[in-house]
Copies of this chain bind each other. A is one copy, B any other.
Amino acid sequence: MEVQVSQQWEQFQQLVRKIMSYYEALGVLHWDLRTGAPRKGTDIRSETIGILSTEAFKLQVSEEMGQFLQFFADPKHEGQLDERQRRMVAEIRKLYEQNKSIPPERFKEYSILASQSETKWEEAKKNSDFAGFEPYLTKIVAFKQEFIDYWGVKSTRYDTLLDMYEPDLTVEKVDAIFDRLKARLVPLVHAVSESSFKPETGFLKQLFDIGQQDKFSRFLLGQMGYDFEAGRLDESVHPFATGLNPGDVRITTHYLQDDVLSAVFSSLHEGGHALYEQNIDKSLAGTPLSSGASMGIHESQSRLWENMIGRSRPFWRRYFGDLQQHFPEQLKDVSLEDFYLAVNKVENSLIRIEADELTYNLHIIIRYEIEKQLFNEGLSVKELPEVWNSKYKEYLGIMPPNDGLGVLQDVHWSGGDFGYFASYSLGNMYAAQMLHTLRKEMPNLDELIEQGNLAPIKEWLTEKVYRFGKTETPSEIILRVTGEELNPDYLADYLEAKYKEIYKL
């Protein structure tokens, strides 16, 4: 590398490192707000988050940054970068171009609003008070519409949002994939609900000590290979994982005294996200490539651990005894098989994050369709509860008794994350397709799980997915790992095989 190029690279890296520092601090401020920051400090905290987000934003679209990007756009200079360096420049350039047209003042107002709005959402959800939350959400949507204009409208306005979470994803593609999936899942869901077999779940309706739940979550996370010296587990209203830096990837869960499964599976889920970020190649630290490849790929890792491993027979053959030891009183008379059937019970229910693997995708399709209406078809925020409720009635045959259990259940919209939900179903599809390959390459997979020997799985995923971070696109990853482009049939195959066996269809 020529001296001039290496000097420019050095300075560029320093600027990027500085920007990453803001994001680490903002990550901690957010984590703190969600895990127990005192109520009376949240207004000033929101303002502080807004101010620092704006500073980070300004650096990202600064003249200095523009000059670096221009310098590295020159083929003479770019030619001296290695592949990773080029990816890093491309990633930064994408953010730069996305954001440089947003006036910093507008961005600041938006950041403050989004932060306040998340706090208001928590209250509104608790009190089922959509009216109290509506003014905030209306402003958030208006901001997003304004930002879409800044970012540039793709085929449709909503396409612009989809692309931000999953590069190159379009309404056209999602419509096609969801149609193909629906064609196989709808008859399956129908057959399951017609089945005379109903798993017994009465034994889950007991009180389970929260201290014991916490111990069991920590135990399972340890078994997965989650490194507690590079992370911590806390509690929040809505469970999440956050990678603050490569040595500090935190997760939260939510303990319900009358629902022992909720924390178990949300810990496995967030643990899957965290395992990904804890095992990204350390040489990417301090760059934006030290994160998941996309929301969809990230979600594939949480789903793989939560559902495909965590709700499998071999998994509970190994761990049900441990669970019984944590709750001898409640579970002593429950058989392994009954427990397995219970954790896989299919039920048309109200809450997405508590939904079973099979109907889960319907929860996503509802949200996807509503967001499409909101951004492409003139639906107003005021109408959301009504549309939400009628879609739940239509797709799942049930009606939320209040907005806390309905339209207010998810955190995403309060933070402006529209276009995100589709990634969850993509995640299921990526996961099923990867599992298919994993099973081919590791024919004794079920035996390993049954032995509680989960390390080889973590190693395989590290080798194939985790370590790459964001140095590859989702399409590149799925093709490299499985030899094929995304194919929703793997998910349909997996779900059919599993639920036909369980429901004796």
Contact = CB atoms under 8 A, between A and B. Distances in A.
B44 A246 contact: yes
A149 interface: no
A21 interface: yes
Number of copies: 2
Interface string A215-255: 00000000000011111100000000000111110100000
A338 interface: no
A327 interface: no
Contact of A37 (B36, B48, B248): B248
B227 A41 contact: no
Given A24-B45, A285-B44, A247 B29 contact: no
A182 interface: no
Contacts of A32: 28, 32
A66 B385 CA distance: 54
Contacts of A80: none
Contacts of A75: none
Interface residues of A, number: 40
A99 B37 CA distance: 32
A38 interface: yes
Contact of A25 (B39, B48, B227, B231): B48
Contacts of A18: 51, 55
A52 interface: yes
A55 B59 CA distance: 12
A321 interface: no
A41 B250 CA distance: 11
Contact of A45 (B39, B232, B245): B245
Contact residues of A: prevailing secondary structure: helix
Contact of A245 (B17, B28, B48, B227): B48
A20 B22 CA distance: 15
A55 B41 CA distance: 24
A20 B47 CA distance: 11
Nearest to A250: B38
Contacts of A37: 232, 248
A229 B42 CA distance: 10
A258 to B, nearest CB: 23
Contacts of A200: none
A53 to B, nearest CB: 10
A248 B48 CA distance: 13
Given A21-B51, A44-B286, A38 B228 contact: yes
B51 A17 contact: yes
A247 B43 contact: yes
Contacts of A41: 230, 244-248
Nearest to A18: B51
A40 interface: yes
B24 A247 contact: no
Contact of A42 (B21, B232, B247): B247
A230 B38 contact: yes
Contact of A229 (B26, B38, B48): B38
A103 to B, nearest CB: 16
A40 B248 CA distance: 7
Interface in A1-40: 17-18, 20-22, 24-26, 28-29, 32, 36-40
Contacts of A246: 41, 44
Contacts of A227: 40
Nearest to A41: B248
Interface string A370-386: 00000000000000000
B52 A25 contact: yes
A241 to B, nearest CB: 13
A24 B42 CA distance: 12
Contact of A28 (B17, B21, B28, B286): B28
Contacts of A43: 247
A250 B38 CA distance: 9
Nearest to A40: B247
Interface string A476-504: 00000000000000000000000000000
A28 B49 CA distance: 12
9 A-B pairs with the lowest CB-CB distances in the bound complex, closest first: A41-B248, A40-B247, A41-B247, A40-B230, A44-B245, A21-B51, A21-B48, A25-B25, A24-B48
27 contacts: A18-B55, A20-B48, A21-B47, A21-B51, A22-B52, A24-B44, A24-B48, A25-B25, A25-B52, A28-B28, A28-B32, A32-B32, A37-B248, A38-B229, A38-B230, A38-B232, A38-B248, A40-B227, A40-B230, A41-B230, A41-B248, A44-B246, A44-B247, A44-B248, A44-B286, A45-B248, A55-B55
Interface of A: 17-18, 20-22, 24-26, 28-29, 32, 36-45, 47-48, 51-52, 55, 227-232, 244-248, 250, 285-286
